[in-house]
Structure formats: C-alpha cells, structure tokens
Amino acid sequence: MASFNDKLEAFSIELFKINAIKFGEYKTKVGLMTPVYCDLRIIVSHPKLMEALAALIAEYIQKIKNINILCGVPYTALPIATVVSIKTCIPMVMRRKEAKDYGTKKLIEGDYKDGDNCLIVEDVVTSGSSILETVRDLEDIGIKCSDAIVLLNREQGGAKILGK
C-alpha cells in the first residue's frame, strides 16, 4: 500500500499533467508577481482526480479531532469540500461571498448548530485573507473554526498570519 506522501506525490504529478501548474509571469490575488501559478479550478473537469483529492483529504483529516462540519472557501474550494463531504459523510455548509438581498438573505447556507466545529477547506493560501473572511462569517453565526486544510501554501506569509 502506498504511503500518504507517495499518494500526494502522484496527485501532484497529475496536477501538472492537466496543466493546473503553470509557469510564466502571473499576478496573485494580493498583487504579488509569481513565476509559478497553481490553477486548481481545472480539477472539477477531472472526476478521477477530484476523487483522489477527496481520498487524500479524508485520510489527512482523520488526525483532526471534533470536526463535525466542513466549509469550502469560495469559490474554488467549494466543489473540493463537497466531494470531501460526500467521501467522509461530514456535513457541509456553504459560505457566500456576498449575502443575497432576497429570500433568506443568508451568508452561510446549510444545516448547522451553534457550537459546530468547522474544518475550512481552501485551495491556495497566499495572505490567508480568504480563510480569515470565511472564519469571520462562520464565527458570526456561532460556528467554531480552529482548523483549515490548504492544498497549496504559497509560502508568502499566509500560514504565519493564520497561525496567529
């Protein structure tokens, strides 16, 4: 049986094969220029790769205690969190980037209760701002957030900010 690291390496090679890893000159969300760009939005077009990713995340989150709800950071991590939810049978909530001005006007959709402990799922972290925005909105409605799983840390300060 392959180790977790072997599975992770094989997954990374598949990302390269589908052109999710790009080389050139790219601007990040926070305005920094980078020679490497990881575009994980393309994964949704590759069901077997989504399935492999969900299995990797499911294996990893077994180490995290007391998680009873998932939330993907909009928008790229939403389908990833959905597949992980299906794979693990952990319920999911969905955060909108903006509240609707009609219907229920909710920012957080789904079933949850006060005190639920949420695992945040994010694709790429540069500054950590998207995770912090998601945590703020979840905590505003009584959901606790102490853990996040990130597929790619750009090593540009986000992990340190989130650690605080």
CATH number at residue 147: 3.40.50.2020
pLDDT computed for residue 157 by the predictor:
67
Could you list the residue range(s) of the whole structural domain that residue 69 is in? 4-163
Burial 27-64 (b: 16+ CB within 10 A, else e): eeeeeeebeebbbbeebeebeebbebbbbbbbeebeee
Please give the model's pTM, rounded to 2 decimal places: 0.89
Domain count, the chain: 1
Tell me, what DSSP letter sits at residue 44?
Answer: G
Residue 142 has pLDDT above 80, yes or no: yes
pLDDT computed for residue 57 by the predictor:
95
pLDDT computed for residue 41 by the predictor:
93
pLDDT computed for residue 102 by the predictor:
73
Mean pLDDT of 131-148: 94
pLDDT computed for residue 138 by the predictor:
97
Mean pLDDT of 60-86: 94
pLDDT computed for residue 156 by the predictor:
65
